[in-house]
Structure 1
Amino acid sequence: MRKYGEEFEDENNKHELRRATNSGEGNVISSELFVAGDQPDLARKSPKDHRSPPSSPTSIFLVDLVPDGGIESCLRLRPGKRESRGGSRDRNRVGILVDGDLREQVVEVRRINDKLMMVKLVIGGCTLSVISAYAPQVGLDEEAEKLFYEDLDEVVRGIPNTEKIVIGGDFNGHIGATSNGFDDVHGSFGFGERNGGGTSLLDFAKAFELVIANSYFPKKENHLVTFRSSVAKTQIDYFLLRKGDRGLFKDCKVIPSENLTTQHKLLVMDLEIKRAKRKKIASD
């Protein structure tokens, strides 16, 4: 497995500044969020190079497991060992990787369980709560899915309405190609046929007045499919934001050329939050 370097500690949380090596095993990155700077350059950049100039987007990775390569320096946040209700300890543990440029903006880390965690950042006077999620597989354990959404509901209810929210991860559900009764949360640019897991996600989004970012941009199939195997191609990874913040996300799509594993594809969203410029103080 990959080795990790120096540690950073504050009064409440211990984080690791990740120094990547080229060793490791193939694990899964679910999604990546770009946060733009003062003069956002929203052009794509490879996950293999996140040492960006100040004007370039910084990144937040939401992961299912520890990814195996490419990130040279970032703040790695992972949940504690509390077991999710209805799940098994140490399985499907989520995490959040925060670009080093955003390190000082992290003000809170909440490790809810092995399927949910949250990081709160203050960027340019804006408070942003980023939640990484991994829902149980559809049909395997309905009680586990119910408990997952109860935990997620509790987390979202605890976030003040004045703060911005980004929820991302593997929800193991298909929202379908069209809105079909969920016009207020589904942008009608999804993929495939809706199933029970997708309906659960749409119901959750509707209850909290969130929108599913993936569904608001017309894309070709290879920019929609987040999981592809020899027998199936599906859309199971999503980004959600408050309905009132739709103007902040500029694009959301899969990058098919980034081979994370043989099946999972990288989902990327561009979120523009301008960071406040530092004021120069004149000296005598």
Structure 2
Amino acid sequence: MMSVPIESSSASEIHGLSSHARASPACDAQLPRLTSVRSGRGLPSQRRARLKKLVKVNLRVGTLNVGSMTGRGRELADMMRRRRVQILCVQETRWKGNKARELGDGFKLIYSGANSSGRNGVGIVLNEEMKTKVTNVNRISDRVMSLRLEIEHLVINIICAYAPQVGCDEEIKEAFWRELEHEISAMPNDERIILGSDLNAHIGRGNSELTSRIRGIWGMGDENDEGKAVADFAVAADLAILNTFFQKHDNHYLTYRSGGRTSQIDFLLCRRQHLKEVSNCKVIYGEAVVAQHKLLVIDCVIESEKSNTKKEAMPKIKWWKLKDPIMKCEFKRKVMDSIEEMNEDEWWEQSSKGMKKAGKEVVGVTSGKGPPKEKETWWWNEVVQEAIKKKKEAKKNYDRTGSEEDHEAYKRTKKIAKKEVAISKAAAMDEVYKELETREGEKKLHKIAKTRDRATKDFTHIKNIKDKEGRVLRDEEEIKERWEEYFRNLLNEENERRIFEDGAPNQGMTKGIEREEIVFVLKKMKNGKATGPDELPVEAWKAMDEVGVDL
């Protein structure tokens, strides 16, 4: 644990300081009040100073070099769920392109693609809650990317970095550090930064007068040239290297193991001013997702103003179930019964309530909690889970003993698990293809394509306002000014227009709406569209057949 040295003071010095002592710090919440004595109960609400409620945000962030994301997505999501990791930076994904992908169980990977040779690549995995907090994604290269989260009233920038190996050209190394420094320097000082990285560097144990602010005294190994570059970067950006500030057993420093060699090359960093918010940093052993690298995590407790917005459930009637002939007939019968109980004029006034009541009774309503979690992991069956479990147990035995026999057992179970995943995926996809060949499957094809395309987006809902330069606005007044500017430009644009001196000719009496027109319009209207003020979709009127047209 990091301790703060206390210099000794004489009794006279202490007595002199005691006359200026405060019961609370100078920056506490008493200062904004109008007076520290008189009650403000009788004052107008605008002049009453109110203490803002604070909420503690518990956050666990990790970093892991995965070697390749191919075939590891679902296993990675399972590991994050068990280890309660909300955000995970992954390096060496080796996936090309700049997209996002659902991994299953609510976890989503946003990645910056590998180079032309299929190497490198970085990404950030978010759990179900955190993926809704993303407001911006910035892909710099196949080695550096960042995303911006807004949690309560906090802004947290998550950066994922993968440094070149020791043997790479100096130009590649310099380009990497230049990209990383430029990205961090562009972030406002009041926003938090968490950098999860594989820096391929040894920083060693201990620190110097120059690095004592950003580096603790704990660690492993000896510092090399790459480690000095890491220290120089951290000093320039004022980032604390979190691995070095917490005393742990040696195993909880080592992030890499291969061929009997162990080292500490993966690091988590944050702004030095926010170091007090980090309560722990350690390596978690026993995970078999990757053979060489180990999962490194930090635990943060951040205080923020409590958000007053509450997400309310919005149950909806399952109108799409009216495709079922039995439900359609039952719905039609209930609506007709309600018509018989009153005359047509009265029923027309109550049509919305009557049809919605019949719909709730026949087809039911949703829970209002939104769509279910990603269903793209049908292949994650009991056979696959058992194979993964055996691989994990074999990995634990090998980590504990280090014997050649256990190493062979681990490699054997790893091969079996990989084979079971491939077989299960192929079988699941065969079922999908068979379903798509049917008549109903053809209708689902467009929906599946649309859903998968949406899943590749970084975020599906825009939750922020940007200025003309693309900078995300947070201040309420700036947001109002931006909306004012937008509508001023939109509504005051001058266009060419034709002025008619004479008014439009009188067309005389027009015919009323005929029955054939209603039938034609109902056929043309598509299902699943937004409803009007009566909240009745076109499916409800179509289900009424000829009776609906007559009404």
Quick check: TM above 0.5?
Answer: yes
- Which residue of the partner structure matches residue 61 of structure 1? 88
Structure 1 SS opposite 2:184: helix
- Of 203, 214, 221, 1:175 maps to 203
* Greater Rg by CA: 2
**RMSD after superposition:** 2.8
The amino acid that maps onto 1:239 is L
Q: Write out per-residue CA displacement over residues 124-149 of structure 1, whole angstroms, 9 at most, x where no aligned residue.
A: 21111110000001233222111100
The answer to which structure, 1 or 2, has the higher relative contact order (CA under 8 A, 6+ apart) is 1
What does 1:164-243 correspond to in 2, within 5 Å? 164-181=192-209, 182-243=211-272
Residue 160 of structure 1 pairs with residue 188 of structure 2: yes
CA contact (8 A) 2:133 2:150 kept: yes
Q: Distance in 2 between matches of 1:170 and 1:252?
A: 15
51 and 237 in structure 1: CA distance in 2 versus 1, 3 angstrom threshold: closer
- Which residue of the partner structure matches residue 247 of structure 1? 276
CA contact (8 A) 2:90 2:160 kept: yes
Residue 137 of structure 1 pairs with residue 165 of structure 2: yes
Q: CA deviation at 1:63?
A: 0.3
- Of 48, 52, 58, 2:78 maps to 48
CA contact (8 A) 1:90 1:114 kept: no
Q: Percent identity?
A: 34
The amino acid that maps onto 1:79 is S
Normalised by the size of structure 1, how large is the TM-score? Answer: 0.74
260 and 57 in structure 1: CA distance in 2 versus 1, 3 angstrom threshold: closer
- Of 92, 95, 118, 2:123 maps to 95
- Which residue of the partner structure matches residue 151 of structure 1? 179
The amino acid that maps onto 1:163 is E
CA contact (8 A) 1:58 1:102 kept: no
108 and 41 in structure 1: CA distance in 2 versus 1, 3 angstrom threshold: closer
Q: CA deviation at 1:103?
A: 1.9
Q: Write out per-residue CA displacement over residues 165-188 of structure 1, whole angstroms, 9 at most, x where no aligned residue.
A: 011110000110111341111111
Residue 77 of structure 1 pairs with residue 77 of structure 2: no
The amino acid that maps onto 2:90 is V
The amino acid that maps onto 1:267 is L
Q: CA deviation at 1:230?
A: 1.9
The amino acid that maps onto 1:93 is G
Structure 2 SS opposite 1:169: strand
48 and 202 in structure 1: CA distance in 2 versus 1, 3 angstrom threshold: same
- Which residue of the partner structure matches residue 299 of structure 2? 270
- Structure 2: tracts of 5 or more residues without a match: 1-54, 63-75, 95-102, 312-551
- Structure 1: tracts of 5 or more residues without a match: 1-36
CA contact (8 A) 1:89 1:114 kept: no
Q: Write out per-residue CA displacement over residues 5-59 of structure 1, whole angstroms, 9 at most, x where no aligned residue.
A: xxxxxxxxxxxxxxxxxxxxxxxxxxxxxxxx847498x9x9626569xxx9661
The amino acid that maps onto 1:147 is A
Q: Distance in 2 between matches of 1:280 and 1:92?
A: 41
- What is the number of equivalent residue pairs in this alignment? 233
CA contact (8 A) 2:109 2:124 kept: yes
- Of 77, 81, 105, 2:133 maps to 105
Q: Which has the higher strand share?
A: 1
Q: Write out per-residue CA displacement over residues 254-277 of structure 1, whole angstroms, 9 at most, x where no aligned residue.
A: 001122322111101112235635
Q: Distance in 2 between matches of 1:164 and 1:63?
A: 20
254 and 151 in structure 1: CA distance in 2 versus 1, 3 angstrom threshold: same
- Which residue of the partner structure matches residue 11 of structure 1? none
